[in-house]
């Protein structure tokens, strides 16, 4: 894999470095092989999942296993696995594409994601050669199914506080596992589990590869859940389970690091999965709006409904732009590390770790995008949306878990800011210089420049100013709050939201600029409307989040000065969002589906 970018951007660097459209990947650039993979995933969903969705939700015995077997036969379970280990050996963004296309598979997509992600990747990236040779081919084909046992009744967000214990046997041949894990996806049928436990009185977790047929493993009945009803979710108990010493994964006490790095991958994969779910739900909403008549005409002709369809499309298109931008950034980082002599497995982990903040951001904006889309879809359906006979009722229930999965959105907001600040403190990101520059700008008289040029002249200026707001608020917060910063969760959430919205805004702007360069302005009328509407809304949201943060810790003349700066940096030119949304909605209504 070669990097298309000789100087790839680093994680978090988007805040201080200007990115050009040529540096990013856009979904319009999928090659023929990638399009064929996407079509194969679509066909699988249409032929195998949707016709059987009621049977899946009723947890018909053996059905999910059969479906995973079929996915394995098509190669869908080995997308990220190297060819020499029985997989397809695709790059990272192609694995995101398959996750997206299978993301409209409701409970199946959860089972698929758990198996191919947290189930397979710990062994693929941290296993030794013997472990990989023994287990990965079986996981890649689906002969064996995988689960990931981290969460415990007393340890959710604080994963390292787990109580499951591992003690070396007297003959030194086994570790004896005792403990309890809960919310284990695929727990009811998994053949292989990655289990996290503490050896003796260790401070940090150690990971073990545990075969599910091992004596001493027992399961609680299937959990009854609000949504994703077809996904197997069990508690798993370990009672004096013997695990061969050679099944320790990586090194002693490296389990917490494994968990964190695998969760980074899970977070961006979740963003891709919910993207697929959002597109499918928008299709349902548009079709119903075109079919349902009230007061003598289809409800798709009413402005209130068009607003909802347009906003669903805007948020989904923006999410897609950001997800695949980050996917390519990760691929570029991996390629650069391999070119520098690092082994591929290590380079993959390191490349993804570099973009841990972006992965956390995408998890938040992805799950919240889908929640918005399904909520408004139920509203468009009206009373029918509340009926279990409608597809949007299931989508609504299934969506809710995504704000909890892979670390809650609250935790991921904290992590976003924490990881960017840590990179700055390590000298990997120069946030201080730009932040000082913005502080100096607050003291100066604003320059009256020429009117911006080009279709996105204003948006480029807004983007530059959004970044100034983040640097101003975050820089001041770090100075003022110092050691207590980690406890100021409301302020951290405000900053995280501004960072997320700015990343999304820049991503969609760059995507559409690249598209215009390829197709011309006239062919990109809808995409231009999306960018302009999103920026218009984002300016006000950043103003509110910035104001809330500043009022929380600043005071006096300094507060007044920063609030004036905030007002200046979030000022926008007059813009008509109604006309813009009408344009977007009408185009999708005419096509009777999401076409962007």
Q: Which residues are the active-site residues?
A: 406
Q: How many CB atoms lie within 10 A of CB 366?
A: 31
Q: Of 140, 77, 69, 138, which is closest to residue 113 (Cα–Cα)? A: 77
Q: What is the DSSP string of 121-173?
A: HHHHHH--HHHHHHHHHHHHHTSS-EEEE--BTTBSSSGGG---EEEE-TTSS
Distance between CA atoms of 65 and 146, rounded to whole angstroms?
11
Distance between CA atoms of 511 and 321, rounded to whole angstroms?
6
Q: What is the DSSP string of 540-569?
A: HHHHHHHHHHHHHH--HHHHHHHHHHHHHH
Distance between CA atoms of 237 and 178, rounded to whole angstroms?
8
- CB hemisphere CA count around 554 (13 angstroms): 23
Please list, in sequence order, all residues whose beta carbon lies within 8 angstroms of the beta carbon of residue 351, skipping any fewer than 6 positions away: 92, 330, 331, 333, 334, 336, 337
Tokens of 327: 């996917």
- What is the three-class DSSP state of 241? strand
For 189, phi then psi, to 5°, come to -135, 5
Q: Could you tell me if residue 385 is left (phi over 0), alpha (psi between -120 and 50 degrees) or otherwise beta?
A: alpha
Enter the DSSP assignment of 500. H
Tokens of 61: 């015995």
R_g (Cα) of the chain, nearest Å:
24
Q: How many CB atoms lie within 10 A of CB 299?
A: 19
Q: Residue 174: beta bridge partners? A: 244
Buried b or exposed e, range 149-159, using 16+ CB within 10 angstroms: bbbbeebbeeb
Q: Of 575, 489, 579, which is closest to residue 540 (Cα–Cα)? A: 575
């Amino acid at each position: 894999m070669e990097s298309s970018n000789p100087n790839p951007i680093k994680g978090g660097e988007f805040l201080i470095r200007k990115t050009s459209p040529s540096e990013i990947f856009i979904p319009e650039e999928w090659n023929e092989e990638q399009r064929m993979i996407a079509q194969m995933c679509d066909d699988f969903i249409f032929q195998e999942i949707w016709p059987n969705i009621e049977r899946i939700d009723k947890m018909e015995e053996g059905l999910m296993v059969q479906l995973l077997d079929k996915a394995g036969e098509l190669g869908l379970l080995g997308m990220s696995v190297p060819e020499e280990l029985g997989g397809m050996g695709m790059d990272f963004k192609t694995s995101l594409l398959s996750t997206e296309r299978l993301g409209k598979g409701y409970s199946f997509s959860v089972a698929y994601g758990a198996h191919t992600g947290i189930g397979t990747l710990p062994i693929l990236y941290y296993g030794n050669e013997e472990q990989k040779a023994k287990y990965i081919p079986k996981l890649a084909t689906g002969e064996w199914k995988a689960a990931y046992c981290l969460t415990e009744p007393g340890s959710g967000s604080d994963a390292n506080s787990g109580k499951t214990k591992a003690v070396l046997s007297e003959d030194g041949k086994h570790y004896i596992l005792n403990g309890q894990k809960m919310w284990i996806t695929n727990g009811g049928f998994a053949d292989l589990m990655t289990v996290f436990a503490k050896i003796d009185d260790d401070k940090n977790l150690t990971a073990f590869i545990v075969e599910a047929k091992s004596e001493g493993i027992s399961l609680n009945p299937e959990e009854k859940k609000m949504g994703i009803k077809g996904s197997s979710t069990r508690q798993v108990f370990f009672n004096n389970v013997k695990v061969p010493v050679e099944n320790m994964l990586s090194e002693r006490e490296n389990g917490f690091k494994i968990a964190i790095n695998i969760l980074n991958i899970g977070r961006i994969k979740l963003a891709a999965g919910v993207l697929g779910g959002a597109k499918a739900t928008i299709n349902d909403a548009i079709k119903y709006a075109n079919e349902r008549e009230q007061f003598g005409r289809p409800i798709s002709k009413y402005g209130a409904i068009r607003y909802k369809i347009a906003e669903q499309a805007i948020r989904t298109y923006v999410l897609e732009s950001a997800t695949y931008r980050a996917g390519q950034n990760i691929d570029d980082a991996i390629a650069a590390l391999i070119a520098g002599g690092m082994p591929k497995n290590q380079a993959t982990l390191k490349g993804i770790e570099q973009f841990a903040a972006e992965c956390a951001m995408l998890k938040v904006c992805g799950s919240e995008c889908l929640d918005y889309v399904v909520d408004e879809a139920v509203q468009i359906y009206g009373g029918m949306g509340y009926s279990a006979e409608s597809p949007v009722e299931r989508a609504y229930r299934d969506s809710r878990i995504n704000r909890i999965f892979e670390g809650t959105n609250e935790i991921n907001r904290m992590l976003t800011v924490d990881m960017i600040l840590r990179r700055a403190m390590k000298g990997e990101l120069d946030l201080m210089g730009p932040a000082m520059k913005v502080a100096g700008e607050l003291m100066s008289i604003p320059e009256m420049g020429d009117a911006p040029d080009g279709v996105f002249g204003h948006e480029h200026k807004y983007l530059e100013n959004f970044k100034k707001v983040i640097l101003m608020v975050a820089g001041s917060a770090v100075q003022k709050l110092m050691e207590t910063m980690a406890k100021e969760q409301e302020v951290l959430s405000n900053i995280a939201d501004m960072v997320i919205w700015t990343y999304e805004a820049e991503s969609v702007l760059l995507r559409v600029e690249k598209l215009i360069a390829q197709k011309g302005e006239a062919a990109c009328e809808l995409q231009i409307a999306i960018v302009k509407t999103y920026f218009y809304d984002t300016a006000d949201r950043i103003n509110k989040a910035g104001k809330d943060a500043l009022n929380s810790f600043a005071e006096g003349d300094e507060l007044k000065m920063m609030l004036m700066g905030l007002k200046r940096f979030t000022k926008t030119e007059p813009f008509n969002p109604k006309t813009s949304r009408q344009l977007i909605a009408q185009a999708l209504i005419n096509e009777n589906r999401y076409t962007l």
